[in-house]
C-alpha cells in the first residue's frame, strides 16, 4: 500500500507542543505522497496555521468529548472519501473518533497519548481504551509503561517520541534580541521556561525556586513564556513573594527562538509530562537543562550529562541545582554542548518515519 488516506483530529483551541507536532507531521506525510485531511475547530490556532500551510483542513463543531453531531459528520466523510486511518491527537478527538468509527471495520483508529497519568475511570478503561483502538502511539516510554500498567496489550502500544522541529526556531532576517528589549545585560544569568500556564506545569514550584535563587544571586532573571488558565494565579504568586523584577511573564511568543537565544539555562518544573518538546528546542540552542523527573523527561535529560534532574516538587533541590549551574559556567557550557548531541536521536524525520510505519503495519 503506497498511498494512505488519513484523517487527523485535533480538538485544541490553543497552540501547544502537541499541535505543533500534528501540523508538522501532516506536512511531512504530504511530502511523502500520503493523502491527509485535518479536522479541528474553526476558531482554533491550528485551523488557521493549517490553512496557511496549504493543508486540507475541515472544521467541525467538536463541542465536547461526546459530540455526536461531529462524529456523524466525520463518519459521513470517512465513508464517502474511503479514509483508511483516523489519527486522534487529543483525548476528546479520541472519543469523537470512536463514535465515528463504530462498526466501521474498513478504517483503522490510531490514538496519540501525550500525557503520563493513569486511566482511572472504569468506563475509559473498558470502552475508550478497549479493542476499538488499533494502535496507541505513546510520546515516551514512560507514557507507554503507564498504558501497559493500565491493562493495554503492549502489542497495541508503540513509542514514537515527539521530534525536534527546527522551522519555528529560526527567523528570516535579523534575530530578535529579547535581552535588549527587556533591558537585561549580557552579563546577567537568564533562566527560562517555555510552557503553557497550566496546572501540571507546576509554575508555583519554579516561583518558589526563584525566590530562593535570587536571595543568593539577586541579579538573575527568570523568563516565563506561555499562556494559560493559571496566569492570574501565577501573577499573584509572583507578587506575593515580591518577585516582579526577577520573573518576567512574556506571554505567548511567536518567535520562540528569541527566548532560548536570550537564555543561559532552561528550567522545567512539571508535575506531569509526557515528553515536552520545549526541552528539544532548548537542546538545539545548547542550553543545559534543569528539570523534574516527571514522565518522559528523563528520556531526554540525562542527569549530570546534558542537565540535572530533580524530584517533582522539590523546590529546594531545584534551587541548589540552578545555583550550581549559575556558579560554574564551564559546567553549563559542557552540558549545553551535550544537549545539542542528544538531538541526533530525536529528529522529526524519525518521528514521521515511525508513524508512517505504524500506519502501514495496520494493513499487513
3-state helix, strand, coil in the chain (%, to 5): 45, 15, 40
Band (pLDDT 50/70/90 cuts) for residue 168 is low
Predicted TM-score (pTM) of the model is 0.91
Average pLDDT, the chain: 94
Find the largest Cα–Cα distance for the chain: 65
Q: For residue 320, which of 217, 231, 224 has the smallest C-alpha distance?
A: 217
In order of start, what are the domains of the chain with their CATH numbers? 5-163+347-361 (3.40.50.2000), 167-345 (3.40.50.2000)
pLDDT digits (tens, 9 = 90+) for 146-162: 999 999 999 999 999 99
The candidate with the shortest Cα–Cα distance to 346, out of 300, 301, 305, is 300
Cβ 305 vs Cβ 331: under 8 Å? no
Residue 25 sits at φ, ψ, to 5 deg, of -60, -45
Q: Considering the chain, what percentage of its residues have pLDDT values greater than 70? A: 97
Tens digit of pLDDT for each residue in 284-322? Answer: 999 999 999 999 999 999 999 999 999 999 999 999 999
From start to end of the chain, where are the E strands? 5-9, 35-40, 57-59, 85-88, 108-113, 135-138, 157-159, 190-194, 221-225, 247-251, 265-268, 289-292, 307-310
CB-hemisphere CA count at 13 Å for 78? 29
Q: According to the model, what pLDDT value does residue 173 have?
A: 42
Beta-bridge partners for 307: 289, 303
The rounded distance, in Å, linking the Cα atoms of 29 and 262 is 33
- Cβ atoms 319, 212 nearer than 8 A: yes
Q: Show Cβ contacts of residue 109 under 8 Å, excluding neighbours closer than 6 positions.
A: 85, 86, 88, 97, 98, 101, 132, 133, 134, 135
Which tens digits make up the pLDDT trace of 13-58?
999 989 999 999 999 999 999 999 999 999 999 999 999 999 999 9
Return the residue matching grid coordinates 536570550: 262
Amino acid at each position: 500500500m503506497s498511498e494512505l488516506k488519513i484523517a487527523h483530529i485535533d480538538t485544541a483551541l490553543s497552540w501547544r507542543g502537541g499541535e505543533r507536532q500534528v501540523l508538522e507531521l501532516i506536512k511531512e506525510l504530504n511530502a511523502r505522497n500520503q493523502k491527509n485531511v485535518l479536522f479541528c475547530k474553526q476558531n482554533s490556532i491550528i485551523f488557521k496555521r493549517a490553512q496557511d500551510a496549504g493543508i486540507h483542513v475541515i472544521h467541525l463543531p467538536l463541542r465536547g468529548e461526546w459530540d455526536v453531531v461531529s462524529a456523524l459528520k466525520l463518519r459521513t466523510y470517512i465513508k464517502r472519501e474511503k479514509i483508511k486511518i483516523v489519527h486522534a491527537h487529543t483525548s476528546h478527538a479520541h472519543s469523537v473518533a470512536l463514535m465515528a468509527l463504530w462498526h466501521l471495520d474498513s478504517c483503522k483508529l490510531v490514538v496519540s497519548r501525550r500525557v503520563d497519568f493513569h486511566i482511572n475511570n472504569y468506563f475509559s478503561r473498558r470502552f475508550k481504551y478497549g479493542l476499538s483502538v488499533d494502535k496507541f502511539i505513546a510520546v515516551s516510554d514512560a507514557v507507554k509503561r503507564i498504558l501497559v500498567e493500565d491493562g493495554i496489550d503492549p502489542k497495541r502500544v508503540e513509542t514514537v517520541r515527539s521530534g525536534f522541529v527546527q522551522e519555528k526556531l529560526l527567523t528570516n532576517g535579523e534575530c530578535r534580541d529579547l535581552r535588549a528589549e527587556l533591558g537585561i545585560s549580557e552579563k546577567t544569568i537568564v533562566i527560562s521556561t517555555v510552557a503553557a500556564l497550566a496546572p501540571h506545569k507546576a509554575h508555583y514550584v519554579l516561583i518558589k525556586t526563584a525566590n530562593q535563587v535570587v536571595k543568593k544571586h539577586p541579579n538573575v532573571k527568570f523568563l516565563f513564556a506561555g499562556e494559560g488558565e493559571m496566569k492570574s494565579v501565577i501573577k499573584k504568586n509572583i507578587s506575593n513573594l515580591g518577585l516582579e523584577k526577577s520573573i518576567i511573564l512574556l506571554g505567548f511568543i511567536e518567535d520562540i527562538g528569541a527566548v532560548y537565544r536570550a537564555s543561559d539555562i532552561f528550567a522545567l518544573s512539571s508535575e506531569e509530562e509526557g515528553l515536552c518538546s520545549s526541552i528539544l528546542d532548548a537542546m538545539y540552542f545548547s542550553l543545559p537543562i534543569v528539570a523534574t523527573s516527571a514522565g518522559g523527561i528523563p528520556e531526554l535529560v540525562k542527569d549530570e550529562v546534558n542537565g540535572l534532574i530533580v524530584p517533582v516538587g522539590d523546590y529546594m533541590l531545584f534551587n541548589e541545582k540552578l545555583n550550581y549551574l549559575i556558579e560554574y559556567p564551564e559546567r553549563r557550557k559542557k552540558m549545553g554542548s551535550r544537549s545539542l548531541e542528544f538531538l541526533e536521536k530525536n529528529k522529526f524525520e524519525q518521528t514521521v518515519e515511525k508513524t508512517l510505519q505504524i500506519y502501514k503495519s495496520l494493513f499487513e
